[in-house]
Structure 1
Amino acid sequence: MSDISATEYLSRQQELEDEARKLMPWDPRSCTYEKGALRQQVFACRTHGNIGICYSCSIQCHTSCDIVELFTKRNFTCDCGTERDKPKSENQQTNEFRCQLRKNREPDVASLQNVYGHNFHGLFCSCNEEYDPDSSAVMLQCVLGAECNEDWYHDYCIVGKGKEKQGAKRKADEETLADGMPPLDSFDAFICWKCVSKYDYYFQKLMSHSLAEEVIAHRIQRGSLEEKDLSRSDKKRPIDDVTDGSIDYSLTLKHGYSKQLAKIKETLDKKTDKLYKFLDDLVPFLVNDDPVYEEPEDTATGADDMVSLLLQSSVQREQAVAGISAFNSLKTRLSEYLRPFAESGRVVSGEDINNFFEGNEKK
C-alpha cells in the first residue's frame, strides 16, 4: 500500500461511495408488484424463465441470476414471486419466499397485461442480437412500441444497412452515426418502421396535417440513403406525396412533440376524425407525457449502509447482523485511528494501516 494522507484516504472513500450511488441510485427495498401496471425500469431474468422484474427485485431477489437490463416498458407489472416466476431448480423448497421483498410463500397471480418480446430473452433490434456494450453502434428505443414492444434498434438497422458494411467505417472507440441517420440532437423521440407500418393510415393523415412540421423531424427510409426532412415540407402537401408506400420508413419526433400533438388533437373532430381516435385511444401517451415510475432515492448515507443492504440480500439474518455489527465497529475504530493523522496533516503509510489491522486481529 502506497503512502497517502488521511485526507486523501477519506476523499477516495467518498469518491467510491459517490460512484456506487450512480450505479445504485434508488432505494431497492420495495417491489412494484402491488402498484400494478407502471411505466418503469424493467429487467429480464433469463434464469427464471425470461420474466420481467422491477429494479428492486433485480437487486434483492435475483442477485445471482442472468439479468438483462431492458430500460423502460409501459404498463408492466413485476413478475417476481408470481406464477410466471420459475424457480432456478426443481429442488427449490416450497417454504422459501417467492419474492424476498413481498415475503409471499405462495406465488401471486401474474399480470395478464404484460407484453413479452425477444427483449426478455436478451435480444434486441430487427437483427435479433444481444446487446454489445463494446459496440460503437448507436441504439434508439421506439417510443410508440405498439408493434415492437418498445424495442431498441441499431442505427445501421434503422437505415437498412448491414452491420458488416457499417462497422468497417467506425473505430472501436468512436460513436459515429450510420449513413442516412439524422443528428441525434435534431430530434427527441424515435418511432420504428414496424410501428409506422402498422398504423400507416394514421401517420399519413398526421404527416398531411398543417401542423405536421411542428411534430415530425425526419422520415428515415430503410434500404435507401434518402432521408426526407418534413420540417421543410409544404404545409398543405397531399398525403399521397408524403410517401409512395414502397419503402418502409421510421419517424423521428421533434422536441416538445407532445404539446404539438395536443394542438393537432384540438383541431380534430372528436366524433368523426379517425386521427383523433388514434391519438386519444391508441397512443395517448404520445400526447400526454407518460412519466417513468422511480423508486424513492436511496436514503443510505454511507458505505456501511450499502454494505448492510447487500449483506441482508445475500446471507442469513443472523450472519448479516453479526457482519454489520463487526463492520460498523471496525469503521468506528479506523476513524478514531485516522483522526490524529487528519488533524495534523500527517501521511498515513502502508505500515500504519497494517499496524491498525494487525492490532485489531489480536482483539
Structure 2
Amino acid sequence: MSKLSQISESDESQDDRAITAVDYLNEQAELEREARQLMPYEPEVCTYSMGALRQPLFACLTCLRTNSNQPNGICYACSIQCHSTHELVELFTKRDFTCDCGTTRMKSNGCCKLRLRQLSKEKLIDMKRLSADNPDQGDDIPSLSNSYNQNFKGAFCDCSKPYNPMDDSNMFQCQFGAVCGEEWFHEECIIGVRPGVINRRKPTKDKAHGENKLDNLSEPGLDASADNVAKSNLNIDESSDDEDEVLPLPGFPKLETFETIICWKCTEKYRKEFECLCDALGYDKVYNIRADSLEARNTLLKREDSKKRLSEENYPFTIFLKDTFKKDIAKLLKDNSEDKQYQGLIKLMKSHSFMFEADPIYQPPDDPESDDNSSIFELGMKSLNRMPVESALGGIEAYEQIKNKLTEFFKPFAQENRVVTKEEVVEFFEREKENAASRNQS
C-alpha cells in the first residue's frame, strides 16, 4: 500500500468520526425535540397521595435490585424527578395502582423528592433541613392493593422476554387483566407459536436480475400446497417494493378489525362466561395451541376441528374486542338482564365494570414548555427565574463551571486547527459526570 493511499484512508477515517459544531448543535436540537414528544407532561406531582389510579407506570430495576428484589411501580413524575439515573422499564398503563416511590418497598432510594418538596412548601421549611429532620425518610406505607406481575421485573408475555421495540411481532395488552395482571402478549404467543419461529419478512428480490424464485420456496418440511396457503394467508402483494415489510401473521385477525384483547389466561378462568360473551357478540377468538411451528399448529387445529367441539374443550382462547366493545357489552347486559343464561356473564362484568363503563387514564398536567421551541439552555434559564435566589445562584455557578471547562476543552482544537470528533465530546461529558459522582460520594 502506498503512503499516499495510507494518508487518504486515514483522512477518510477521521472524517467519518468528525462532527462539526453545527452538526452537533443540530443533533442536540433533534434530541431535545424527541424528548419533548416522549415526555410531554409536567413532572411536578407524585400521584402517591391520589391513591389507586389507572395511570402510566414505570418499574425501577435499579431499586428492585437494591431492595431485596422487591418489585415496584412508580408514576411518570417520579420516573423523571426521583429515578432519572436509574434503569427503568416503561409499563404503560395499569389499573388501581398507587405509586411506590418513597415507600418502604424502595427504601434504598430514600424519600420521594416531589412529596418532600411539596411538604417543604407547605411548611415553609428549607428542603435540606426538612430532609435532615426526617431520618426515617422513605418510610411511607406502600399500598396493600397494588398487584405485581413479571412486567415489574422487566419481563413480558407468556415467553417472559424483555420488551424489544425492534421485534417484528406486535404486542397487545389484555383489557380484562384479572388473571394476567394486564399483561402484554406477542401475536405469535397468542396463537401458541414463539416469536421468531415464523419468518415474517417479505422475500427479497434481485432488482438487477428480477425476482429470485428460490426466496419464495417453503421452509424445509413444507410442501407446495402449504406454500400456496401461506402466501394467500399472508396476502403478499407482489407489486410492492418494500422489502423490509413485516407480513401479517397467518391465522391472526387483521389489526384493523379489533381494538384490544382478552387473553387466553383470563378467558380460561371464566371460560363459560366468556364463551357466552363471544357467542352473543360474534367477536373473533383464536385458540392458543402450543406448537413448534405454524405447520404443526395448523395440523393440530385441523385434527381438532374434525371432531365435535373438542378444540373448545382442549385449548384456551383469546377474544378480540372491537372498538365498540364497551357499548356492545353494556347493551348486552341491559337487554338480557332477566335471561338466566346470561346471569354468570352479567355478574362477572358488573364486578369488572371497566369492561362497559368509562375507564379513564390519569395523565399529569401538560408541560407548558413541551411545545416551546426553546433550547435546553433557554428552558434552564426560565427555570432559574422561578427558583429561590440561593438555589438559582448555585445553578448559575454550576453553569459557569461547566462553561469554563468546555472552553478549556475546545481551546487546543482551535489552536491546532483540529476537528473535534463526536467521541471526544461524549468522552468529555462522561468524564465530567464521573467526577461529579465522585464529588457527591465524598
Residues in 2 aligned to 1:245 and 1:184: alpha-carbon distance in whole angstroms: 27
CA offsets, 1:170-198, max 9 Å, x none? Answer: 37954333322111111011111001101
Residues in 1 aligned to 2:153 and 2:82: alpha-carbon distance in whole angstroms: 19
**Structure 2 residue 126 is matched with structure 1 residue 119:** no
**Structure 2 residue 233 is matched with structure 1 residue 220:** no
> Who is 2:184 aligned against?
152
> Who is 2:294 aligned against?
none
Deviation, structure 1 residue 98:
0.7
* Distance change in 2, residues 1:202/1:319 (3 Å): farther
* Distance change in 2, residues 1:205/1:48 (3 Å): same
Residues in 1 aligned to 2:162 and 2:194: alpha-carbon distance in whole angstroms: 16
The structure with more helix, counted as a fraction of residues: 2
Deviation, structure 1 residue 143:
1.0
**Structure 2 residue 295 is matched with structure 1 residue 280:** no
Deviation, structure 1 residue 320:
5.3
Deviation, structure 1 residue 207:
2.4
**Structure 2 residue 232 is matched with structure 1 residue 163:** no
Deviation, structure 1 residue 35:
0.7
Contact 1:270-1:277 at 8 Å conserved across structures: no
Equivalence map 1:14-53=2 (5 Å):
17-49=32-64, 50-53=71-74
Equivalence map 1:283-302=2 (5 Å):
283-300=352-369, 301=372, 302=374
> Who is 2:318 aligned against?
250
What SS is found at the alignment partner of 1:59?
helix
Tell me the TM-score normalised to structure 2 length. Answer: 0.60
**Structure 2 residue 258 is matched with structure 1 residue 190:** no
Aligned partner of 2:251: which letter? G
Residues in 2 aligned to 1:44 and 1:310: alpha-carbon distance in whole angstroms: 28
Contact 1:155-1:177 at 8 Å conserved across structures: no
The count of corresponding residues between Structure 1 and Structure 2 is 298
**Structure 2 residue 80 is matched with structure 1 residue 59:** yes
Residues in 2 aligned to 1:309 and 1:38: alpha-carbon distance in whole angstroms: 32
* Distance change in 2, residues 1:274/1:35 (3 Å): same
Deviation, structure 1 residue 305:
6.1
The gaps in structure 2 that reach 5 residues or longer are 1-18, 65-70, 120-136, 203-242, 290-296, 302-307, 404-416, 418-442
* Distance change in 2, residues 1:308/1:35 (3 Å): farther
Aligned partner of 2:247: which letter? T
Tell me the TM-score normalised to structure 1 length. Answer: 0.72
Residues in 2 aligned to 1:18 and 1:164: alpha-carbon distance in whole angstroms: 34
> Who is 1:260 aligned against?
328
Residues in 2 aligned to 1:194 and 1:305: alpha-carbon distance in whole angstroms: 51
> Who is 2:421 aligned against?
none
Residues in 1 aligned to 2:154 and 2:194: alpha-carbon distance in whole angstroms: 21
Contact 1:52-1:120 at 8 Å conserved across structures: yes
Aligned partner of 2:266: which letter? C
Residues in 2 aligned to 1:170 and 1:225: alpha-carbon distance in whole angstroms: 20
Q: 1:176 aligns with which of 230, 242, 247?
A: 247
The structure with more strand, counted as a fraction of residues: 1
Contact 2:169-2:195 at 8 Å conserved across structures: no
Deviation, structure 1 residue 162:
2.6
Contact 1:187-1:253 at 8 Å conserved across structures: yes
Q: 1:98 aligns with which of 111, 114, 117?
A: 111
Deviation, structure 1 residue 66:
1.3
* Distance change in 2, residues 1:31/1:164 (3 Å): same
* Distance change in 2, residues 1:69/1:106 (3 Å): closer
Residues in 1 aligned to 2:39 and 2:256: alpha-carbon distance in whole angstroms: 28
Aligned partner of 1:56: which letter? A
What SS is found at the alignment partner of 1:53?
coil
Contact 1:136-1:174 at 8 Å conserved across structures: no
Residues in 2 aligned to 1:117 and 1:146: alpha-carbon distance in whole angstroms: 11
* Distance change in 2, residues 1:307/1:208 (3 Å): same
Residues in 2 aligned to 1:184 and 1:169: alpha-carbon distance in whole angstroms: 15
Contact 1:115-1:149 at 8 Å conserved across structures: yes
Residues in 2 aligned to 1:276 and 1:148: alpha-carbon distance in whole angstroms: 21
> Who is 1:91 aligned against?
none
Contact 1:139-1:154 at 8 Å conserved across structures: yes
The gaps in structure 1 that reach 5 residues or longer are 89-96, 229-239, 330-350, 352-363
Deviation, structure 1 residue 156:
0.8
Aligned partner of 1:83: which letter? T
Residues in 2 aligned to 1:109 and 1:68: alpha-carbon distance in whole angstroms: 23
Residues in 2 aligned to 1:309 and 1:76: alpha-carbon distance in whole angstroms: 34
